[in-house]
Structure 1
Amino acid sequence: MPSVVVNGGSVVYEILGDSGELIVLTPGGRFGMDIPGLRPLAEALVAGGYRVLLWDRPNCGASDVQFYGQSESHMRAETLHGLLTALDTGPVVLAGGSGGARDSMLTTILYPELVSKLVLWNIVGGIYGTFNLGAHYVLPSLQVARGLGVEGLPRMREWRELIAANPKNEQRLLALDRDEFVKLSLRWLNAYVSKPGQTVPGVDDELFDRITVPTLIIRGGTNDLDHPKRTSLEVSCLIAGSTLIDPPWPEDAWERAVEDRAHQRVDRYNLFDTWVLAAPPILSFLDG
């Protein structure tokens, strides 16, 4: 896979398709571009006449681990800016779900000159959703670093997987300064604490005035605690002129996928397997 060095870290990417406007497609969590369900959506968008850039964000897939910025999403937005600048892409379509939606929104807010259109789905919000993010992505490493120092980080399953994908990551973790890592982790954790005036964790509502490009929002499922329906409705109010549509997948798709994942039902669908169903409305929006 080709890569670009941004802020001292290697960022792995892949571009699908030979012609057409470029769509940057970003998944959620700390999942890399090989997460099941992402590539079928990318291929459907390519079939619709677009090119698609898939990328492993810092701390995802085969890219280098990195730790800087106001929040992890701020770091990802800065990284995407560096990647697209290095590739000299010009304005692109940003499309992302879950954490990828937050990364795409923040990139558009901070670097509006990079973005021509914006597509969002599975937007995280609410007490459960934001607390869950902090508890899952920040607290475990913070607690290990406080107790064992950075030497304990490579022993954790999450970082072991990234070391397996990119052996350089072990030394990058061991080279961290413990006190600085703890300080950064507390700052990243604070971004996930629900606050008045922050519909999206770590992003002040007033900043959404900076999003002026055409925006499509696929609303959250009715009972989805991770990506509440209310949050997507509120974001649609914050982004002037945005288009809000019902999800093209079942209302309970996320809940059923979470259950399948918990029960390790590998013969059934993964978290992002239904995302390919978003291809027709996304293409209709982009072509309109």
Structure 2
Amino acid sequence: MSPAQPVRRAAEHVLSVHGGDVVYEILGDAGELIVLTPGGRYGKDIPGLRPLAQALVAGGYRVLLWDRPNCGKSHVQFYGETESHMRAETLRAMLTALDIGPCILAGGSGGARDSMLTAMLHPELVTRLVLWNIVGGVFGTFVLGHVYAVPTLRALQGAGMAGVVDVREWRERIAANPSNRDRLLSCDEAEFRKVMLRWLNAFVVKAGQTIPGVDDALFDNIRVPTLIIRGGENDLNHPKRTSLEVSCLIRGSTLVDPPWPEDAWEQASQALAQGRAERFNLFDTWVQAAPMILDFLRG
């Protein structure tokens, strides 16, 4: 195998979308399809995601796991109003090419935002929506701007695209798919800066945007049954208030308390910061939502 090619499992497939490879796999042999999306720039193999997928398959569904652009083994890509807009367009193109829509969208944290935006922009592709750990509030939104854009922009400012490839996050994307190094280095510096500044602007808190970079008016496009698992009581990244606001914006949505401890995200974040992530990963608790998700989908 060429050193520029990522190592893939037999179950993984690749689809070219807008000039970039997207790696995905489908679990299960029968049943309605659920597209399951994690948060952050984490890929489909992030610990905690697959147990939830397997529980949903055991409940009679198929589950599509995918490495979104800039995640996992997929190619890095930089276009669109925000990174979530880019991913919504990627998912639309994938479902159309695979001829497997409409389907259920389910996601947590950034995956919730990607799922909501897909339902807003391409409502014909969605039958039901399941959301949890919805990011919002001043702290959660500002943190994302720092995580997703600031280190990259600072590296770009100091050393151009050669500096960008040394940013930890992009080093990880290169390690997972070596061809990403050339993709990054070949980016036009001025255009890349323009995109990253536009993506950063999405995380500047604005009136009329309950979730980052998305006007509240777009929630009117979501007309499908929606389950919202609210954020934890003191979760600054995924505030309870944001979940309540989103439940008001999505007409007829169902809001439920989380099945995991109110401080689950805080516990995981602390473990991660202290180097104890092997004991409690950010998404370890998500499998606990499987029974309520299945009940909602069967209802």
If the length of structure 2 is used for normalisation, what is the TM-score?
0.96
Give the letter aligned to residue 229 of structure 1.
Answer: K
Matches of 1:36 and 1:171, distance apart in 2: 28
**Corresponding residue number in structure 2 for 1:124:** 135
Three-state SS of the structure 2 residue aligned to 1:19 is coil
Question: 2: distance between equivalents of 1:90 and 1:169?
Answer: 29
Percent identity over paired residues: 72
1:145 aligned residue? 156
Q: Which whole-Å deviations, capped at 9, do the CAs of 1:100-152 have from their partners, x for residues lacking one?
A: 00000000000001000000000000000000000011011011112211111
- Structure-2 change in CA distance of 1:175 and 1:19 (3 Å): same
Offset of residue 46 of structure 1? 0.2
Which amino acid is 1:66 matched to?
A: Q
Secondary structure of 1:149's partner? helix
Give matches, 1:123-272, under 5 Å: 123-272=134-283
- Find 2:101's aligned residue among 90, 95, 104: 90
Residue type at the aligned position of 2:67: D
Give the Å deviation of 1:246: 0.2
1:74 equivalent in alignment to 2:80: no
| Equivalence map 1:42-121=2 (5 Å) | 42-121=53-132
Q: CA deviation at 1:157?
A: 1.4
Question: Alpha carbons of 1:70 and 1:267: their partners in 2 closer, same or farther (altered >3 Å)?
Answer: closer
Runs of 4+ deviating beyond 6 Å: none
Question: Do structure 1's residue 280 and structure 2's residue 291 form an aligned pair?
Answer: yes
Structure 2 Cα separation of the partners of residues 199 and 249 of structure 1? 24
> 2 CA distance for matches of 1:266 and 1:189?
28
Alignment partners' CA distance in 1, 2:170 and 2:54: 29
Q: Distance in 2 between matches of 1:140 and 1:266?
A: 23
Distance 1:3 1:77 in 2: 17
**Shift in Å at residue 266 of structure 1?**
3.5
Q: How many residues align?
A: 288
Supply the AA of the counterpart residue of 2:32. E
Alignment gaps of 5+ in structure 1: none
Superposed CA deviations along residues 196-225 of structure 1, whole A, max 9, x for unmatched, are: 000001000111000000000000000000
Structure 2: unaligned runs, 5 residues or longer: 1-11
Q: Secondary structure at the match of 1:155?
A: coil
Q: Secondary structure at the match of 2:107?
A: strand
Q: CA deviation at 1:160?
A: 1.1
Checking the alignment, whether the CA contact within 8 Å between 2:268 and 2:277 is kept in structure 1 is no
Measure the CA separation in 2 of the matches of 1:266 and 1:251. 19
Rounded Cα–Cα distance in structure 2 between residues aligned with 1:278 and 1:65: 31
Report the alpha carbon displacement of residue 86 of structure 1 after superposing the two structures with TM.
0.9
- How far apart, in 2, do the equivalents of 1:267 and 1:275 lie? 16
Q: Could you tell me how far 1:154 is from its partner in structure 2? A: 1.4
Over the residues paired in the alignment, what is the CA RMSD in angstroms?
0.6
Paired residue secondary structure (1:259): helix
Normalising by structure 1, what TM-score? Answer: 0.99
Other-structure match for 2:4: none
CA distance, structure 2, for counterparts of residue 5 and residue 114 of structure 1: 19
Q: Tell me, in whole angstroms, the C-alpha distance in 2 between the residues paired with 1:31 and 1:130.
A: 18
Whole-Å separation in 2 of the counterparts to 1:267 and 1:98: 20
Q: Which residue of 1 aligns with 2:6?
A: none
Q: Distance in 2 between matches of 1:176 and 1:10?
A: 16
Rounded to whole Å, the distance in 2 between the matches of 1:29 and 1:236 is 22
Q: What is the one-letter code of the residue matched to 1:112?
A: P
